[in-house]
Chain A
Amino acid sequence: MTENETSVVMLGPRDRLIGELYIEGNLRVSGTLEGQIEATGDVDVTEAATVKATVTGREVNVSGQVNGAVTASKKLVIGRGGSIVGDVRVPRLIMQDGASLSGNVSMGPKVAAEFAQAAAAEPTPAPVGVAVAVVQSATDGETAQEKAKPKKR
């Protein structure tokens, strides 16, 4: 775990993010978020948060409002005051009484296997990015590789 330093990004109750966010680490949202978020670590949506975005993470905890598809590679926990409107894809799902969920739910060993496959196949969808990097590397070497790196999907 030390090799990918787990950064923690926190968005406070008065913070707002509109756009696309990719984090190698954990994310904790208490504010407003719109767009698309992906974290390699855990995603926490607190009670004060309003999220209108597709959410991807390893372990996702929702205690606030989420409007959008949620994907967790490990598990999803919807807390007492949590609400999700959108499709959910997770291997494990825990839902507390009082939580709300509307959407399609896909889970279980099949989904877990898909995540394992996706993780194994991760390097292969790179060719497009690699090709671009090669072309660009002729002009400026290091920056192109840096550009290509965060675009995992």
Chain B
Amino acid sequence: MDTQQAVADAAQHEANEEGVESRRDGSNKITLGPGDSLDGKLNYNGHVTIQGQAQGEFRVTGNFEVGSGATVKALIEGSNVTIKGDVEGMLTARDKLTLGKNAKLSGDVTVKRLQIEDGASLNGHVRMGSFEQSSGS
């Protein structure tokens, strides 16, 4: 009896996992840990979170997050961009850019919405609203 139950449980788990994966297909996710680094160009259909170091050019269809302690020198494009670490480079957020309280961002920014928490630092040109025009440049 016990073994049968175990098998049944396992089958259920598999089904669940498949379900989760199929949902994930719509929104893939990459996470670079604190010790990880990335240098290069990335076009990604999903969300990206960086907690380590990254350099290059990143265009993602989903959200882009730079964790606290992370250092990114790159061109960044994403729909929601959240920054809690150090970022240097051009940044485009198709929807919203959020600068956390320890965020440091230097570079030109094109966003639809912008939220800056107290303690965050921003140096650069900000363009808001007229997003369609800027995507061509």
Which A residues have a C-beta under 8 Å from some C-beta of B? 75, 92-109
Contact = CB atoms under 8 A, between A and B. Distances in A.
A97 B96 contact: yes
A105 B118 contact: no
A106 B123 contact: yes
Interface residues of B, number: 19
Main secondary structure of the interface of B (DSSP, over half): strand
Closest 7 CB pairs of A and B: A95-B116, A108-B121, A97-B115, A94-B118, A105-B122, A104-B125, A101-B126
Contact of B114 (A75, A95, A109): A95
Contacts, number: 48
Main secondary structure of the interface of A (DSSP, over half): strand
Interface in B73-132: 96, 104, 113-129
Nearest to B98: A97
Contact of A104 (B104, B121, B124): B124
Contacts of A98: 113
Contacts of B126: 101-105
A113 B96 CA distance: 30
Contacts of A92: 118-119
19 contacts: A93-B116, A93-B120, A94-B116, A95-B114, A95-B115, A97-B113, A97-B115, A99-B115, A100-B129, A101-B114, A101-B126, A102-B126, A102-B129, A103-B126, A104-B126, A105-B122, A106-B123, A107-B123, A108-B104
Given A92-B118, A93-B120, A103 B125 contact: yes
A139 B33 CA distance: 75
Nearest to B120: A93
A140 B85 CA distance: 60
Contacts of B104: 108
A120 B8 CA distance: 77
Contacts of B122: 93, 105, 107-108
B119 A102 contact: no
A100 B128 CA distance: 7
A108 B123 contact: yes
A147 B83 CA distance: 49
A97 B114 CA distance: 6
A97 to B, nearest CB: 4
Given A75-B118, A108-B121, 15 more contacts: A92-B119, A95-B114, A95-B115, A96-B115, A97-B115, A100-B114, A102-B126, A102-B128, A105-B123, A105-B124, A105-B125, A107-B121, A108-B104, A108-B122, A109-B121
A63 B116 CA distance: 15
